[in-house]
Amino acid sequence: MIDLILGGARSGKSRLAEQRAHASGQQVVYIATAQHLDGEMAERIQHHQSRRPHQWTTVEEPVALAQALQTLDAPNRLILVDCLTLWVSNLLCLDNGNHFAEHKAALLTCLPGLQSDLILVSNETGMGIVPMGDLTRRFVDESGWLHQDLAQLADRVTLVVAGLPHQLKPANIS
């Protein structure tokens, strides 16, 4: 089961993902893609950490997401990735031209073969104005294309607005 949860900043998408993970009754592994680059980000990370149950395993992986998913994959396990747009940003800042494309391809290739259930959290970035800079325009483009690819693979896609989940694609679960 692949569950993609999209929403704006502070929309409630992470809270929904955490609620779904907790309700699953499975062993939860939380992959955090954020990096402690400044004080504000450290506060955001601490806020997210404080909400997680102590029995969840947290793995910090800002770049090699496909590799981490394959390493952590196991039956009866749920892997929650929060968040994909930070992962995209991390890769674009490291990009040598093909770095992002290689990691994106690896992610999209590995997802269908995983035994674990997945919850993927990401910021919907394509609903605002077109950014002025090259890097920020590429970030919005790459995030949007990634979301489209993931939505095709996902069993369930939810958009969260003002804390309210809007089901875009129903789960194929009987």
Catalytic residues: 48
Structure tokens at 166: 């809007």
* Residues contacting 139, CB < 8 A, separation 6+: 85, 88, 89, 92, 125, 131
Q: Are 20 and 171 in contact (CB under 8 A)?
A: no
- CA–CA distance from 65 to each of 39, 54, 117, 134, 162 (Å)? 24, 23, 15, 25, 28
Structure tokens at 11: 């929309």
